[in-house]
Each structure stands twice: as structure tokens, then as C-alpha cells.
Amino acid sequence: MSSEEIHALGSNEPVAIVSTDPWAPVGMKAAADDENEVTDVVAFRDAGSCHVTAVATLSPSTMKELVETLSQIVRERHRSERELRPNPRGIIRAQTFEEGDVYMLEEPFTGFGCDRYLIDFYDVRNRDICSRMHYHTGLRFVRIMTGPASRIRISTLSALRIHQAGFPVHLEAFVDELPDYPGPGSRRRHNVVVPECSIVDMAVPRGCSHQFNAFGPYAVIDTVHPEETIEVFRESMSGLRMMAQTLFLADEQPSSEACAL
């Protein structure tokens, strides 16, 4: 087992990166720091399958309070100039992604190469724009939460593995065609809709396509990135930025019709 110390986060405090697998995969990025790198969707193939687990459906009042509390954390941090600038370790904790505003609840530290984000989703209908299909340079674990009159559409390019756990949650699953597919023929898109007032978990392996789009005012995800600093090291990135750890499967964001429910 070998250990590497990197200072790519822009800090004086090194972050320990430990590789236990001599056959660890090589980097995915063509340009390590590009925050809008696009992959040819025609040639792309998923590295595996995403797993979706239905956890619980709770009362509207309970889920409204839970989602509002978490989304308010993100909104308050985005009003802080301090959180929008690099901290002493070079990490910007309040970031923006195509699905919504993001706040890093916990950043990596030496011996712990993981971090955790909250994402306060935009309502797709308000902006008339969908997020793009994309994949990441590391695995993700996502807890998806909706409140009243709010749903989230999950889409992938490979069949989703769906599990039920805890209280019954009705997950509507369907298949359609990927809009604006540039290749010959068409490509299937696999979808699951998270219903109102529900909690659903999703495990996203490294290199697996996925797409989230929210409809309604109460939609948030709590996402854990276990490989965060490993990704930075493996891709030879100069810093830790979620957008740079993302590869898109379309040049531009489509209109909301492309992800309508």
C-alpha cells in the first residue's frame, strides 16, 4: 500500500491520498480543470448501473419542514461572501451546479478523503431549462428528498436497479428516448420519478450517467462524495471543484420540455 500527499486544494495542510489498488483506474478527464468538458454521447457507455432505493414517504408537514430546513442552509451560505470565496485551504464551500445551488457541509481533511454537499434544487419550470446528462470522476451516494407539490425526475442511460426499503414509496419508472441525440437512430433513457414527500436513496458508481431535474418548490439532495480527494489526485486537478469533476453528455442545457413529467 502506498501513500501520496497532495497540496492541490491550495492549502498548507496536506491531504492524505492512499491508494490500496495497484490497478486503480486512470483519470477520465481530457483537460483536468475544465468545468464544461463534454463527452461524445454516441460513443459513451456506462461503467455500471445506478441503484435507487425507496426509503420512506412521510407527512407533507414533516417533509416540508425537513426540506425547507436543509435548503435554507444552502441559501444562507450563498448569501455569505466568505463562503463564496476560497477558504484558507483553497476550497469554495458555496458552489453552483446545473441542478441548483450547492453547499459543502463537510470538507475533506487528512485521513478522510470524503465530503458532503447539500443541493437546493431549482424548479425546472421557473427557468425553462433542464440539467444535462452527466457523469462523475468518482462515485456518489445521494439522498433525495421532496416536499409537498414537488417531484424529482431521475434519468440515466442504463437501466436503473430499483429497490424498496422501509415504508412503501411508489416510484414511477418509464423509458423514453434521449432528446437531441446526435447519432444515428436513437438512444434509450431510463427514468424514475421521486414522488411528493418522499425520501429516496441513489448509489451512483464512478462513470455512470445520471441526470436530476426537480419540479416544485421543495426539492433537496444530501450527497456524499467518498472519493473526493482521490478524484483530484487521480485526474491531476489543480483544485477541488465539483464542476471540474463532472463530464457532460451534451453541449448545452436543453429546454424544460426535454425533462418534462
Average pLDDT, the chain: 89
Residue 68: phi, psi to the nearest 5? Answer: -60, -40
Q: What is the pLDDT of residues 143-164, one digit of tens each?
A: 999 999 999 999 999 999 999 8
Q: Which CATH class is domain 33-259?
A: mainly beta
**What is the C-alpha separation between 7 and 13, in angstroms, rounded?**
7
> Radius of gyration (Cα) for the chain, nearest Å?
18
Per residue in 207-246, pLDDT tens?
999 999 999 999 999 999 998 888 998 999 988 888 899 9
Report how far apart, in Å, the C-alpha atoms of 150 and of each of 22, 66, 197, 220 are.
Answer: 45, 13, 8, 10
pLDDT of 178 above 90: yes
Q: What is the pLDDT of residues 50-72, one digit of tens each?
A: 999 999 999 999 999 999 999 99
pLDDT tens across 91-119, in order?
A: 899 999 999 999 999 999 888 989 999 99
Task: Quote the pLDDT of residue 24.
Answer: 61
| Domain regions of the chain by residue span | 33-259
